[in-house]
Structure formats: C-alpha cells, structure tokens
Structure 1
Amino acid sequence: MKNHELKLDIRYFDDVKYGKKNFEIRNNDRNFKVGDILELKRFDGSGYVADVGVLGNPYMPVDKEHADTIKVRIKWMSRHLDDYNKILEDAGLSFSIESVGLTLAIEYVINDYFHTNTLPDGYVVLGIEVIE
C-alpha cells in the first residue's frame, strides 16, 4: 500500500469530500493499486487553496502544506472504460440506480475534463472512499 499526494480540481473537491463523487479518473503514472491512499489537495488551476468561508471569495491561496485536504482509499480500479460492465463488476455493483448513476457520472467527468467520451490512454477510473 502506497500513499499518493495529488491535486484535486476545486470543481470536484466538495463532491468527493461529501461522498457525492466516489471515483477519480487519473493518469496511472504512479502505478495505483487497490488499498492505496490518495491525499487529495484542493487546487484551483493556478495554485493550492483553502476554504476560509468569506462570502464572495471563499478560497484563499495557500502553500501545499495548508491546502484543504481529503484522504481517500482506492476500493477498485478499471482501465476498461469501454466496458462499463467491467467497472460495475470491479465495484461490486449490479445493475441498479446506483450503478447507472456511477456510469453517467464517469461519462460526465470524462467529457467535462477531456472533452471526449473515451478514457485517454494510460488513465484509470479509481473507485474511492473517504477515510479522513
């Protein structure tokens, strides 16, 4: 089991923190494994940020050490996005509202982030659960 420190786009940070988004799509340049811990740090595209709760501009630039952070554990992973049944099987999900929602959410994030409907070469879908 390894620990990985990664940036997490500000658009997805709260969804992961509150369990609304339970997967990450990452370049597998770190050789992720089930059981690994991801330390996800809030990042706004230009630097690390922390929520300071100020109306109008709630985020303040900070150094990496002081950025808002979530720790998650990898529960499952898949490289075969073309075969959603494989992802659902790896996640231990049968066909259900939850599995359909997961599939649609994965498709949305891929399209939002990569402007395509296919997973780029070298990327994986990681099923995650918040641990801290």
Structure 2
Amino acid sequence: MSDNKDHNSDSDSDGAPEEFTQEQAQLEDAELRKIHRENKARVAREKKESRRRLAEKITPRKSRKVDTFDDIEEEEEHEEDPEALANKGFLSKNIIDFLAEREKHKNSSDSEEEEANKEHPRKKKRKSSG
C-alpha cells in the first residue's frame, strides 16, 4: 500500500480527470474538427502550390525576343510570291487548297461512318449496399 501512495503523489493529477458537460464536449469536438478540416485544406493547398512552382521551374519558356523575331519571319514569308515558295520546297497555294478540300471531304465521310457505327453506352449497374 505504501508503494501505491508514493505512486499517486508522483503524478500531477490529484483526482479524477477533468470532467466536461455534454455541451462543453460538443463545443470542443466542433473546434477540433474545424481545426482538422482547416489543416487538411491548408496542406492540400500548399502541395498544389508546390507542384505548380516545380512545374513552372521545369517548363522551358521562350524569351520575348525570340517571339518577336518569329513574328517578323512569318510576315516576310507571306509577302513572297508562289514561285519563290515553290523554289524553297513549299507547295503552291492552289495545291494546298486542293489538298485541304480533299481532306475535309474525307473527314466528313469518316464522321458519317462513325455516327452509323456508334454504339449506345451501357448503363452502369449500381452497387447495392448490404
């Protein structure tokens, strides 16, 4: 018994643990749940920002000087006559138009076939709980 008395004197609590009323317990539980929810949201937001920063760091970017130079080159190409384009290895405008028209016609016939072959999606079976 003397050992038991010494053990109790060493502990910080002098009696029963702190007691709460039901209202106090509900308020404290609500506060803890709110803090937990806020922490989860904060962690998710911080991970998202970290991934975004890493992606920005990894992704190569063009400098503005390069963009303006590309725009100038494109403008110069449009000003040239069709013979000059043919000499460079490009097709003339009428051939490009012909090929584009043929491609449009081919794509439209493909889409008609796809619509005819299109199957109705099956309904998903619901899983019953129980």
Q: What TM-score, normalized by structure 2, do the two folds share?
A: 0.16
Q: Which has the higher strand share?
A: 1
Query: Which of these two proteins has the greater Rg computed from alpha carbons?
Result: 2
The higher-RCO structure (CA 8 Å, 6+ apart) is 1
